[in-house]
Structure 1
């Protein structure tokens, strides 16, 4: 990999989670931020780590940026847009399963690709760049094109590109628009981290192998098809492995589990682990995450699970 830094591109939102019947706790989360949180927690402290987005100039945006900074995450050349503000979502739980209510239609992050020069500067000298289908979905078509052009340029300069299609139907105007955007994104990727139920919803896939084969034909060399608490399918360098998840009898909250899996997998790959070993470590981290509430598990929890996996592979 060229460069030393990691960048994750997308939308960090205000998260409201229940702290009691009439009490809500505010935090910060979003799929690509959750993944970067895990990468930052599980990587060398000296590694530059940035969240690439767009931010408002309101007090909540200021708190967002301060939260990132306090946890060793910068914002690179991300624009701060006068009058803009972050998106918001609230989590409600039915047992351990969660549902979300969103307020994000005018969020600042939707303008993250407005300035191509700033976006390109944010992606310079990176070992790894990560983004998702949600990153694509929040952008207008022209901005989506600018983002993919910037990612492609960074890849030509030596960055590895990782992508989770992370299909959310309500964010897309049509299934065809989502398929077209995801297909184009995959042509710029080295690592794909899809979730099988998303692939089923978007393409009607019947097996994990079907999902992996379609992505392989798009030119992606390293593929990990996640499937919740079921085994993962790992495809890399001609090897195909099915790797069991870690069983958690009584999960507390599944929010962010797949994002944390992605972050742990990528951190392990950055550290030099082979893909199968990285999957095992990521499974351990995801199992730890579903045993705590909220999208961002405490750093100590992530590190303990990641380190415990090292002795098990």
Structure 2
């Protein structure tokens, strides 16, 4: 989507391109430049869509399976920040990304050969019930071929027809995924979880083998193939903007975990990346990758 974010003067808006799954892809390329990161979505054929594709390619992201639709364009959102916490206003009714799962054959081809597939609750929200059914089928096919599926529930009720539909769809999708990365604050609000342990337990079903529960400045807890524990996040002196905090954490945690690192190493890397991100304005900011010993190919 097009991102409009405030500068020091709230009326001084900066434009860029961002969005939850794209943010994670962008940071993953920063952390593991030796990996191929493919983004699968739909955009328009207008100048703004072409500019977005150019930005993705410049970031090193594979755009070969992004469809361009003649009658659509990209969505837009505006960030408002107060005391470091952000809120969003969206304009996405004509977003081409809503057509992500409109063509199952194309989607299956896009996912073919992927080692890891990452998606979020926002993905589910914008494609509608029919799209969710197509996406689930494509993910099952990819999973049977050996792909790992990673899911951030990213609960955004304004994108859904009602809270019950959201919670049911999130629960159904999570059961099909190998790794689930929820945020406790959202889960407590919409699922009524009493504590992070309740969130952890609720997602331990179906195919899920790893659950990492983010919890803002508080300890991150996890269950990874029966190994459990908690990790204190990196302290942050001053939070400027929490946009993309969870997305960047996910990138760091995935980069380490999928490289074969211990889950606590994965959480520390995710936390250190997110700590850099929240000290800046906007979703995509330069980061330095901490010196954490990650397995490398060869």
Contact 1:34/1:295, CA 8 A, preserved across alignment: yes
Q: Which residue is 1:138 aligned to?
A: 126
Among 139, 154, 173, the alignment partner of 1:151 is: 139
**TM-score, length basis structure 2:** 0.95
Contact 2:175/2:203, CA 8 A, preserved across alignment: no
SS of equivalent to 1:287: helix
Q: CA deviation at 1:228?
A: 0.9
Contact 1:208/1:225, CA 8 A, preserved across alignment: yes
SS of equivalent to 1:140: helix
Determine the C-alpha separation between the residues in 2 that align with 1:309 and 1:269: 12
Query: Equivalent residues in 2 for 1:142-181 (5 A)?
Result: 142-181=130-169
Runs of at least 5 residues in structure 2 that lack an aligned partner in the other structure = none
Query: Equivalent residues in 2 for 1:1-313 (5 A)?
Result: 13-19=1-7, 20-45=9-34, 47-298=35-286, 301=287, 304=288, 306-310=289-293
> Against the structure 1 CA distance between its residues 76 and 148, is the aligned structure 2 distance closer, same or farther, given a 3 Å change threshold?
farther
> Against the structure 1 CA distance between its residues 201 and 21, is the aligned structure 2 distance closer, same or farther, given a 3 Å change threshold?
closer
Provide the aligned C-alpha RMSD in A.
Answer: 1.4
**TM-score, length basis structure 1:** 0.90
Higher relative contact order (CA 8 A, sep 6+): 1
Determine the C-alpha separation between the residues in 2 that align with 1:75 and 1:149: 22
Determine the C-alpha separation between the residues in 1 that align with 2:283 and 2:3: 9
Runs of at least 5 residues in structure 1 that lack an aligned partner in the other structure = 1-12
Q: CA deviation at 1:214?
A: 1.1
What per-residue deviation string (whole Å, max 9, x for no partner) do you get for residues 163-194 of structure 1? Answer: 01110011111122112211221121000000
- Which aligned runs of 4 or more in structure 1 are off by greater than 6 angstroms? none
Count of equivalent residues: 293
